[in-house]
Amino acid sequence: MQSPQTYRDLDKLGRDYQREVATTPQTAAEATSRDSCGAGRFAHLVGTPAAQIDRATLPARARVITPDMMVTQDFSPERLNVMVGNDGKVGSLACY
């Protein structure tokens, strides 16, 4: 990207940035409700034993989270999180 040449260019960059921030989900609940990580495409996994999931079919940054697993707390609305219950089956999907 080129450096802004005028105040008008700089103003446009600022407005574009504000628009992008305003449309980016800010919470896991908002990201999941907007399906920003594509969780809807994987809804069929709910109820499936985690051991049967072919991880190669999941998005590159997807996480399969088991009950006692430690995960980072960084928020990434485009990351699919597959939550596994104590029974070893997928209980839910979320974007964060």
pTM: predicted TM-score of the whole model, two decimal places? 0.74
Cα 27 to Cα 33, 44, 85, 89: the distances in Å are 10, 24, 22, 25
List, as one string, the DSSP characters of 18-32.
HHHHHHS--SHHHHH
* Maximum Cα–Cα distance across the chain: 60
Tally of CB atoms within 10 A around 87: 11
Q: Which residue has the tokens 């609940």?
A: 29
pLDDT at 95: 98
Tell me the pLDDT tens digit for each residue of 25-43: 999 999 999 999 999 999 9
pLDDT at 63: 98
Structural domains in the chain, CATH included, are 26-95 (3.30.10.10)
Residue from 44, 55, 54, 51 nearest 66 by CA: 51
Q: Look at residue 5 and tell me whether its pLDDT is greater than 80.
A: no
